[in-house]
Amino acid sequence: MTTTPLTHIVGAGLIGASIGIGLSAEGWRVTISDADPETELLARSIGAGGAPDRNEPDLVIVATPPGVTPDVVSNALNTWPNAVVVDVASVKAPIAEVAARSGQGHRYVGSHPMAGREISGAMAAQGDLFRARPWVICPGIASAKAVAMVRSVADALLCDVVEMDAEAHDRAVARVSHAPQAAASAVAAALGPLVENDIALAGQGLRDVTRIAASHPAMWADIARLNKRSLVETLDHIVAELDAVRKADDIGAAMTALIDRGRREVARIPGKHGGAKREWEAVTVIVPDRPGHLVRLLSDAAAVGVNVEDLSIEHSPRQPVGLTTLWVLPQSASELVEALEKGGWVVAGS
Amino acid sequence: MTTTPLTHIVGAGLIGASIGIGLSAEGWRVTISDADPETELLARSIGAGGAPDRNEPDLVIVATPPGVTPDVVSNALNTWPNAVVVDVASVKAPIAEVAARSGQGHRYVGSHPMAGREISGAMAAQGDLFRARPWVICPGIASAKAVAMVRSVADALLCDVVEMDAEAHDRAVARVSHAPQAAASAVAAALGPLVENDIALAGQGLRDVTRIAASHPAMWADIARLNKRSLVETLDHIVAELDAVRKADDIGAAMTALIDRGRREVARIPGKHGGAKREWEAVTVIVPDRPGHLVRLLSDAAAVGVNVEDLSIEHSPRQPVGLTTLWVLPQSASELVEALEKGGWVVAGS
């Protein structure tokens, strides 16, 4: 086995600490620091790495908030003239430009591990946080040696490495993440005029659309500033789609056309293992909301060897039952319905 | 027990046939008809009701596509001068106006059973389709006798009756359903410029936001036309929220402000039994994607008496493991994490 690089992590939040725990568990020599002494101590106490020492690291992983990442990256390139520097911010082009301007671009690799949804802080850190998740690497003008070193980090954490151009990455995340966040928040904000009794009419559809609207605004200011061009471009596109409906002479035809355009694109979103979700079939069952019932339902499904690809629970606002939808392969659907009805379940639709 | 009204259902699609099956199962005398003879025969074959006969019905339930519902309602009021007429379209004010103009408004009750997500057609019909779901009733100028008769339908189907003003209903569904559908479709449509490799960066957030974008456009043209005023009003609101970001001098501050507005409103969306979802805590576990694992996970949760309030599965595009998040009451979270880790589960965050 090849020797692993002496690694220093700058920033001990969820991402930095999780990388530290994961690499340390793999036997890497890791040190970790954070602007906040308490966070740094906490990260060390949970095995994210040791105290910074005098040895120059071979690899510096910058896991600071996106807003300060460009400065931290160029400082790191200056502080450690022989180290490879990689950052994990969710916007890549502006940071690559700073690294290039420093004249040290061959030692800088941009990266973006896609993880950490709905959880944050060192306390939530886990070495497995990134396992099986995409880890984008933007080589830019980095040397092959530098890229290989960053790949070895992603490999050690069992990530799914995806190489991309930095601008392409930023355009992509604007459309798959940044603008959808703004749209979900806008749909939620538009609930303002409704009284509680009106909002009680909300179904699973609204809950799905607005789920990410509940996420904390932390970091979004930085992300929006760093990815402003692509974000605005995408918001312009989304608004143009909505204008086509709200300004149409025949709003019915316009709505149908918009939904048709949306269906074509949503079918391209990979479901599990790259398979599009539309390839699954929904089996909806009425489940009393008491501990154990969901278990019984899934046991009955597993008993006939049906694998549940996905599962969603739809709640009734006031009554103690829920509609649970099991997403299964089409060839399994009828078999599942039969088995569940034999088992006494009320199948509301499939 | 009081005698149930002789009931005739016009329209044998998912909603009409499901009402017919449910009422017939409760011992009601039900006849059902459909413009399409095959659909009508199918509905009868699955127990949705008998063939129309010479008896004048006490109650006529109009379950036709929304676009033709106003005409069908006024025809029904003329054809059966003593019957109570109720419709189930998802827009209410325009139909109430037509009924009022006919001078027979005291015999008309608007209603909207909230069900049928992602499934359609008589084949999917089930008597339990509406159980525990909200059924909105808009009495308008209807007589107490007429309203009581419609309530008896909702009661027979074990629905959660909600009385509302028709205009309030239409304003509400525009914001909780119609405009969110347009927004989800617009976010999906904005994926157009991305190549497959870019879309592979999509996470669960985008999947949640765009899930309803996969729904069939059927009926949306009618709904948009009938509810045009409220739909446009809501789209204007959503676009104004997006304008505040894309046209801001400081896009970072604007994004934070939008997310803050959204969080305030999304917290008002009832989760289970009227409880807001934010009252729950997320426990995220790495689950190998093989039959039975989800069962084991939920069994281990049930074993320590923890009730799973909601559950979401996040898939990795290319690898055979998924992140499963269990939503539980805050006081149960730590106990659950402890139990799961004892059980050998990898908890990625809580």
Per-residue H/E/C for B176-213: HHHHHHHHHHHHHHCCCCCCHHHHCCCCHHHHHHHHHH
User: In the structure, how many helices (H) and strands (E) does chain A have?
Assistant: 14, 11
Q: Indicate left, alpha or beta for A269 from its phi (over 0: left) and psi (-120 to 50: alpha).
A: beta
More confident site: A303 or B49? B49
Tell me the DSSP string of B267-295.
Answer: TTSB-GGG-BGGGSEEEEEEEESSTTHHH
* HSE (side-chain half, CA atoms, 13 Å) at B134: 27
Q: What are the structure tokens assigned to B42, written together?
A: 């199918």
A188-192, B17-21, B162-166, B325-329: least confidently modelled range: B325-329
Q: Please, which pLDDT band fits residue B78 given cuts at 50, 70 and 90?
A: very high
More confident site: B335 or B103? B103
Separation between Cα atoms, residue A88 and residue A130, nearest integer Å:
12
Kindly determine whether residue A131 and residue B286, on different chains, have CB atoms separated by under 8 Å. yes
Interface with chain B: mutation pick from A158, A187, A206, highest number of B CBs within 10 Å: A187
* Chain A residues whose beta carbon lies within 8 Å of the beta carbon of residue B320: 132, 273
Separation between Cα atoms, residue A123 and residue B350, nearest integer Å:
9
Tell me the DSSP string of A144-181.
Answer: HHHHHHHHHHHHHTT-EEEE--HHHHHHHHIIIIIHHH
Residues 6+ apart with CB under 8 A from A37: none
Interface with chain A: mutation pick from B258, B297, B306, B346, highest number of A CBs within 10 Å: B258
Tell me what percent of the residues of chain A surpass a pLDDT of 70: 87
Kindly determine whether residue A198 and residue B190, on different chains, have CB atoms separated by under 8 Å. no
Rounded to the nearest angstrom, the minimum Cα separation between A166 and chain B is 12
Task: Please give the backbone phi and psi of residue B248, each rounded to the nearest 5 degrees, phi first.
Answer: -75, 150
Separation between Cα atoms, residue B268 and residue A199, nearest integer Å:
7
pLDDT at B236: 98
Q: Please, which pLDDT band fits residue A43 given cuts at 50, 70 and 90?
A: confident
Kindly determine whether residue B266 and residue A119, on different chains, have CB atoms separated by under 8 Å. no
In B, minimum Cα distance to A228 occurs at B251
Domain B170-266 matching CATH 1.10.3660.10: the answer reads: yes
Residue B246, classed as helix, strand or coil, is helix
Q: pLDDT digits over A272-312, tens only?
A: 434 444 467 878 777 766 666 777 888 888 888 887 777 77
Name residue B287's beta-bridge partners: B322
Separation between Cα atoms, residue B322 and residue A222, nearest integer Å:
29
* Chain B residues whose beta carbon lies within 8 Å of the beta carbon of residue A318: 160, 273-274
For residue A302, the one-letter residue type is A
Q: What are the structure tokens assigned to A149, written together?
A: 């070193």
* Chain A residues whose beta carbon lies within 8 Å of the beta carbon of residue B193: 171, 175, 237
Q: Please, which pLDDT band fits residue A339 given cuts at 50, 70 and 90?
A: confident
Kindly determine whether residue A262 and residue B186, on different chains, have CB atoms separated by under 8 Å. yes
Kindly determine whether residue A193 and residue B182, on different chains, have CB atoms separated by under 8 Å. no
Question: Can you give the residue ranges of every domain in chain B?
Answer: 7-164, 170-266, 278-349
* Chain A residues whose beta carbon lies within 8 Å of the beta carbon of residue B168: 198
In A, minimum Cα distance to B208 occurs at A208
Q: Say which of B172, B212, B232 has its CB closest to residue A198.
A: B172
Specify burial of residue B203 (Cβ count, 10 A radius: 0-12, 13-18, 19+): buried
Asked if residues A330 and A280 have their Cβ atoms less than 8 Å apart, the reply is yes
Q: pLDDT digits over B193-248, tens only?
A: 999 989 989 888 899 999 999 888 878 999 999 999 999 999 999 999 999 999 99
Q: Which of B79, B75, B73, B82 is nearest to B109 (CA)?
A: B73
Kindly determine whether residue A172 and residue B349, on different chains, have CB atoms separated by under 8 Å. no
Kindly determine whether residue A262 and residue B176, on different chains, have CB atoms separated by under 8 Å. no
| pLDDT surpasses 60 at A144 | yes
| pLDDT surpasses 80 at A61 | yes
Kindly determine whether residue B237 and residue A295, on different chains, have CB atoms separated by under 8 Å. no
Kindly determine whether residue B239 and residue A242, on different chains, have CB atoms separated by under 8 Å. yes
Kindly determine whether residue B235 and residue A246, on different chains, have CB atoms separated by under 8 Å. yes
pLDDT at B276: 44
Q: Which of B256, B108, B101 is nearest to A185 (CA)?
A: B256
Residue A101, CA distances (Å) to A71, A77, A108, A222, A274 in order: 12, 11, 11, 21, 38
Residue A133, CA distances (Å) to B113, B247, B283, B330, B340 in order: 40, 34, 18, 27, 22
* Chain A residues whose beta carbon lies within 8 Å of the beta carbon of residue B205: 117, 177, 180-181, 184, 211-212
Rounded to the nearest angstrom, the minimum Cα separation between B54 and chain A is 33
Kindly determine whether residue B311 and residue A307, on different chains, have CB atoms separated by under 8 Å. no
User: Within a 10 A sphere around the Cβ of B244, how many other Cβ atoms?
Assistant: 18
Tell me what percent of the residues of chain B surpass a pLDDT of 70: 88
Residue A298, classed as helix, strand or coil, is helix
Rounded to the nearest angstrom, the minimum Cα separation between A142 and chain B is 21
Asked if residues A56 and A37 have their Cβ atoms less than 8 Å apart, the reply is no
Separation between Cα atoms, residue A265 and residue A116, nearest integer Å:
26
Kindly determine whether residue B205 and residue A164, on different chains, have CB atoms separated by under 8 Å. no
Residue A113, classed as helix, strand or coil, is strand
Residue A62, classed as helix, strand or coil, is strand
* Chain A residues whose beta carbon lies within 8 Å of the beta carbon of residue B268: 191, 196, 199
* Chain A residues whose beta carbon lies within 8 Å of the beta carbon of residue B326: none
Q: pLDDT digits over A160-204, tens only?
A: 899 999 999 999 999 999 999 999 999 999 999 999 989 989 888
- Cα A321 from chain centroid (whole Å): 31
* Chain A residues whose beta carbon lies within 8 Å of the beta carbon of residue B262: 184-189, 210, 213
* Chain B residues whose beta carbon lies within 8 Å of the beta carbon of residue A222: 252
* Chain A residues whose beta carbon lies within 8 Å of the beta carbon of residue B220: 252, 255-256, 259
Kindly determine whether residue A198 and residue B220, on different chains, have CB atoms separated by under 8 Å. no
* Chain B residues whose beta carbon lies within 8 Å of the beta carbon of residue A124: 349-350
Residue B172, CA distances (Å) to A65, A78, B87, B227, B296 in order: 39, 58, 18, 11, 41
- Note the CATH number of domain B7-164: 3.40.50.720
Q: pLDDT digits over B159-172, tens only?
A: 889 999 999 999 99
Q: pLDDT digits over B274-324, tens only?
A: 444 446 787 877 776 666 677 788 888 888 888 777 777 665 444 455 677
In A, minimum Cα distance to B90 occurs at A201
Q: Please, which pLDDT band fits residue B14 given cuts at 50, 70 and 90?
A: confident
Rounded to the nearest angstrom, the minimum Cα separation between B73 and chain A is 21
Rounded to the nearest angstrom, the minimum Cα separation between A80 and chain B is 31
Kind of pairing between the strands at A310-315 and A160-163: unpaired
Q: pLDDT digits over B264-284, tens only?
A: 999 998 864 344 444 678 787
Q: pLDDT digits over A45-56, tens only?
A: 888 999 998 899
Kindly determine whether residue A182 and residue B245, on different chains, have CB atoms separated by under 8 Å. yes
Q: Identify the DSSP state of B63.
A: -
Q: First CA to last CA across chain A, in angstroms?
A: 52
Q: Which of B29, B118, B314 is nearest to A350 (CA)?
A: B118
In B, minimum Cα distance to A208 occurs at B208
Q: pLDDT digits over A232-274, tens only?
A: 999 999 999 999 999 999 999 999 999 999 999 999 988 643 4
- Note the CATH number of domain B278-349: 3.30.70.260
* Chain A residues whose beta carbon lies within 8 Å of the beta carbon of residue B207: 269, 271, 277
| pLDDT surpasses 90 at A323 | no
More confident site: B340 or B250? B250
Q: What are the structure tokens assigned to A106, written together?
A: 């061959």
Interface A-B: count of C-beta contacts within 8 A: 498
pLDDT at B131: 73
Asked if residues A123 and A47 have their Cβ atoms less than 8 Å apart, the reply is no
Residue B247, classed as helix, strand or coil, is coil
| pLDDT surpasses 50 at A318 | no
Taking residues A98-116, what's their average pLDDT? 91
